[in-house]
Structure 1
Amino acid sequence: MSFNSPLSFTVTDRFLRYVTIDTQSDPTSVTFPSTEKQKNLSRLLVDELLAMGVQDAHLDEFGYVYATIPSNTNKQVPVICFCSHVDTAPDCSGANVKPIVHKNYQGQDIILPDDPTQVVKLTDHPDLKNQFGHDVITASGTTLLGADNKAGVAEIMDACYQLINHPEIKHGDIRILFTPDEEVGHGVDHVDIARLGAYAAYTIDGESAGNMENETFSADGARLIIQGVSAHPGFAKGKMESAIKIAGEIVAALPDELSPEHTDAMQGFVHPVSIEGHVETAGIDFIIRDFDEGNLKSHADVIRKTADEVLKKYPNSAYTLTTSQQYRNMKNVLEQHPEIVANAMEAINRTGLTAKLCSIRGGTDGSRLSFMGLPCPNIFAGEHAFHSKQEWVSVQDMQKAVETILHLCMIWEEKA
C-alpha cells in the first residue's frame, strides 16, 4: 500500500532541534537516570506528542516517556512498540552540539569547522559511498553529533506525526517508549512492561539504511581486585609488591587475539575498560563479549589464568575475580517469534531499500527487553561513526527509517 499523499517529513527539523540538547549519561552516577539533564529532551518530546494530539503522552518518575497512537482499524492487531534512547555516550562531549547539513554530498572530504583536524573522509567512512546526492549531517568538530540515538528518536516522532496526519495508514495500537541511560547499560532497568502491553517492540538504533539486526553479543562484566603488599618506598626492597604494577602486567599479558582491536565479525573479546588503585590494592574492570553465551566463561578464565601466571612473580599477593551478567543475545528469543523480524524485513523492502539481516557487535535496549518478555530486534536509524566527533547521518536515510516504521505498522495490521 502507498500513502494517499506524499509524506511531508518533519524528521530533519526534529533531529536538528534534539541534538542541541545535552543528554549525556554518566556511568559513575548512582542516580536514575544517571543525569537529570536527559529529562530536558524527554519533557520536550512529551510536549510535542501532546501537541500532535497523542493524549496519553507522559514522563514518569524514572525519566521514561510513554505514549500511545490508538488503533484506527476494526481488526484485532497485536500491539507493537517503537523504542529509542535519549541519552548520548559518555565517550565524547554532547554539550553545545552545532549540527551542520552538508547538502548534495558528492564524495568530498568534509572538514569540520570548529576543529579542522576532524575530517570526515570517504576512505575512512565507506558507507558514505551510498550517500552521493544526499544531505549529510555532522557536528562541528568538537562534540559528537548525537545521531546515536536522537536519529531514532526523531524518526519515531516523525512516524507518530505521519500516523496522525495520514489516517489511510491502518494500524493497531502503537506504543512509544523513549528511555534514558542506554549508553551506560541501564536503559530498561525500570521499564514497565505491563504498562506497554506490547507483543513485540523494535528499537530504532541501527546503522546503515536497510540494516535489520536480530542478534547481539551476550555480555558479562568482570572485576579483578588485586591485593598487593605495601611498604615504605625508601625501605621497600624485597618487601613491596605493587598492586598497580601487577595490574599493568596482567593487562599487558592478555592475549592480543582476544582484544577488541584484533577481533571482528562473530569473534568475541575481553576488554579492560578501567584501572584504579594504589600500591596495596588495585582493581581492573573488564567487559566480556561473545555471540555464543557459552564462551563467556572461557573468556573469564583467560583473565583468571593470566592473573595466575603474573602472580607467580609476586608470592605474597593475591587476587579475586567476580563476574556479573549484563545482557544476552536477543536472537535466542527472536528465533521463537520469526514473524517479528520477517515483518520488519518486509517493511524495509517496501521502502525500496534491500533489507539486510545483520548482527550487532554490541547490545541495545532490545537485548534486555527481549529477555524481559518483549521480543525486540533493532532497525536501522542511519547512524554512523557513533560516539565520535565524526559521527554523521543522512537526511534521506532518516526519511527511509520513518517510512519503514509506517510500513511496519501497516504490515502488522494487514496480517492480523
Structure 2
Amino acid sequence: MEAILDRFLRYARIDTQSDPNSDSTPSTEKQWVLAKMLFEELKNIGLQDVTLDDRGYIMATLPSNIEKEVPTIGFVSHYDTSPDFTATGVNPRIIENYDGKDILLNEEENIVLSPDYFEDLLLYKGQTLIVTDGTTLLGADDKAGVTEIVSAMEHLLAHPEIKHGRIRIGFTPDEEIGRGAHHFDVKSFGASWAYTVDGSQIGELEYENFNAAMAKITARGKSVHPGLAKNKMINAIGIITDLASRLPKNEVPEKTSDREGFFHVYKLEGSIELATMELIIRDHDKSLFEKRKQLLKDLVEAINKERPGEVVLEMKDQYYNMKEKVEPVYHIVEIAEEAMKSLGIQPIIKPIRGGTDGSQLSYMGLPCPNIFAGGHNFHGKYEYVPLESMEKAVEVIVKICELTAKKF
C-alpha cells in the first residue's frame, strides 16, 4: 500500500483546479503540471503508445499478453479538481489505525471531521485515512482514480502471469466543470467499452446518472431615487428573487435523494438595474427533466407578463443519463460486479446524483459505467479517502481486466 499512498500524495499536492470562466482547454495552465508528470510516469512504468495532446488529454496502452482476440477495454479518470473550494497548498495528513472518533483537522480554526456528522467514517475504523489539514480540499476526486489506474497498470506489468487483453487508459482535464469528455477522441481510444474510476465509497458501481442542464436568468431594471420611485423604479433584484421564490421549494438538493430531481440555485448577484441567477436542473427521468426545463421557461414568461422589466433565460443541456447506452451492453456492468464480489466487496449499485465523464462518453459511443475510487465528502475541507479502499480499487481494475480475458 505504501506505493499507492506515495503516488496519491504526489498527485494530490499539485494544484489542478479547473476554471469554469476560462475558454481554454485545459481551463487552467496549472493542470499541465500534473498532465506532463503523468505522461512521463506512464512511459517510465512501461506502457506503450503514451500520448499527451495539445488539450491535455492523456492516453496509453497496456498491450495484450494473450494470443486470442478479446475486446479492448479502457479505464478513465480526470486529473483536475473542483473549483468549489481552494486547492492551493494541499497538505494531506495521514491518520493511521483510525479509532472512530473526531479528527481535528485544524486546531487553529477548530475544524473537526466528526463521525457524528459524517457517519460513513465509522465504516473505516482501524484503517488508514488520508485527510486534509482543514484549509483545502484533498483532490481524491479524482486523483484517487488516477492513482488507482496507474497502480493497476504497474501491477499488471509486474505480473505477466495475470492474463489480459489490450487495455487503454485515459486521463482528462476539466471534468469538474463539465468538459472532461468534450475533446476525448473515442475513435483513437479504440476501446469497446470503458470504466470511469470516479465513484465514492468502496463498492460503488453506477450506470445511471442525472440528465443535466444549466440556466442563467438575467433581469434588467431601472434605477430611480427611492424617494421618488413609486411607479417608476424597476428593481431587478426583486424580479430575480420573485422568480426564485416560485421554484418548487422541496425540489432542491438538500431535500431530495435517490432518483429525485431538483432545481439548484447556486449563484445570485446584482443591483437594481441588473441582476442574475444561475442554476442547474437535474432529473434521472428524461420526461421529468424536460418538464423541469419547461417549468423554468413558463416562469420566466409569466414574470415578463406580470411585471415591468426584462427577464431573459439562457439554458443549455449538459449531459444525459447513460443508462440508455449501458443497458444494451449490460454485461460490462456484470463483469465489474463479478470482479468486486470475487474480492469480497459487496457491490453498491445505485444511481449517480451527478455526472461523470462516462455519461458523456457513453453518448459518444464508449459505454462507460462508473466504479468506486474510495473518497468521501468531495469538493471541500472534509474530504478524505481510506487507503484500503484505494488498494481495493486497484484490485478491482486488475480483476476486471482478468475476467474480460476469460469471458471472451
Matched-pair contact (CA < 8 Å) for 2:75–2:170:
yes
Task: Compute the displacement of 1:30 (Å).
Answer: 1.4
| Matches for 1:194-273 after TM superposition, within 5 Å | 194-231=187-224, 235-273=228-266
1:67 partnered with 2:60: yes
Task: Compute the displacement of 1:310 (Å).
Answer: 4.9
Matched-pair contact (CA < 8 Å) for 1:115–1:142:
no
1:331 partnered with 2:323: yes
Task: Compute the displacement of 1:373 (Å).
Answer: 0.2
Measured in 1, the distance between the counterparts of 2:90 and 2:218 equals 39
1:10 partnered with 2:3: yes
CA deviation vs aligned residue, 1:214-266 (integer Å, no higher than 9, x gap) = 11001011222323334455643321111122112222332211111211121
With 245-254 and 225-234 compared, the bigger mean Cα shift is at 225-234
Q: Report what 2:358 is aligned to.
A: 366
In the superposition, relative to structure 1, how do residues 166 and 137 fare at CA in structure 2: closer, same or farther (>3 Å)?
same
Matched-pair contact (CA < 8 Å) for 1:115–1:140:
no
Within the candidate set 389, 393, 398, 2:390 is matched to 398
Q: Report what 1:188 is aligned to.
A: 181
Q: Report what 1:384 is aligned to.
A: 376
Provide structure 2 residue ranges, at least 5 long, that are not aligned to the other structure: none
Q: Name the SS for the 1:10 alignment partner.
A: helix
In the superposition, relative to structure 1, how do residues 169 and 115 fare at CA in structure 2: closer, same or farther (>3 Å)?
farther
Return the TM-score normalized by structure 1: 0.94
1:134 partnered with 2:127: yes
Q: Which amino acid aligns with 1:381?
A: A
Measured in 1, the distance between the counterparts of 2:290 and 2:223 equals 32
Aligned residues: 408
Q: Which amino acid aligns with 1:320?
A: V
CA deviation vs aligned residue, 1:130-183 (integer Å, no higher than 9, x gap) = 211110110111000111100001001100110110101111111110000000
Task: Compute the displacement of 1:308 (Å).
Answer: 5.0
Q: Report what 2:29 is aligned to.
A: 36
Measured in 1, the distance between the counterparts of 2:37 and 2:257 equals 39
Q: Name the SS for the 1:225 alignment partner.
A: strand
CA deviation vs aligned residue, 1:264-302 (integer Å, no higher than 9, x gap) = 121100112223444333332221000001112221233
With 404-413 and 113-122 compared, the bigger mean Cα shift is at 113-122
In the superposition, relative to structure 1, how do residues 273 and 358 fare at CA in structure 2: closer, same or farther (>3 Å)?
same
Q: Which amino acid aligns with 2:80?
A: D
Identity %: 46
With 22-31 and 219-228 compared, the bigger mean Cα shift is at 219-228
Q: Name the SS for the 1:294 alignment partner.
A: helix
Matched-pair contact (CA < 8 Å) for 2:340–2:346:
yes
Q: Name the SS for the 2:328 alignment partner.
A: coil
C-alpha RMSD over aligned residues? 1.7
Q: Which amino acid aligns with 1:293?
A: K
In the superposition, relative to structure 1, how do residues 9 and 353 fare at CA in structure 2: closer, same or farther (>3 Å)?
farther
Provide structure 1 residue ranges, at least 5 long, that are not aligned to the other structure: 1-7
| Matches for 1:120-159 after TM superposition, within 5 Å | 120-159=113-152
Task: Compute the displacement of 1:189 (Å).
Answer: 0.9
Q: Name the SS for the 1:289 alignment partner.
A: strand
Within the candidate set 313, 337, 344, 1:345 is matched to 337
Q: Report what 1:105 is aligned to.
A: 98
Q: Name the SS for the 2:398 alignment partner.
A: helix
Q: Report what 2:15 is aligned to.
A: 22
Q: Name the SS for the 2:351 alignment partner.
A: strand
Matched-pair contact (CA < 8 Å) for 2:141–2:375:
yes
Measured in 2, the distance between the counterparts of 1:220 and 1:317 equals 26
With 295-304 and 283-292 compared, the bigger mean Cα shift is at 295-304
With 58-67 and 320-329 compared, the bigger mean Cα shift is at 320-329
Q: Name the SS for the 1:273 alignment partner.
A: strand
Return the TM-score normalized by structure 2: 0.96
Q: Which amino acid aligns with 1:335?
A: E
Measured in 1, the distance between the counterparts of 2:271 and 2:253 equals 27
| Matches for 1:316-327 after TM superposition, within 5 Å | 316-327=308-319
1:302 partnered with 2:288: no
Q: Which amino acid aligns with 1:156?
A: I
Q: Name the SS for the 1:72 alignment partner.
A: coil
Q: Which amino acid aligns with 2:121?
A: L
CA deviation vs aligned residue, 1:42-74 (integer Å, no higher than 9, x gap) = 111111111111132221100011110111111
Q: Name the SS for the 2:346 alignment partner.
A: coil
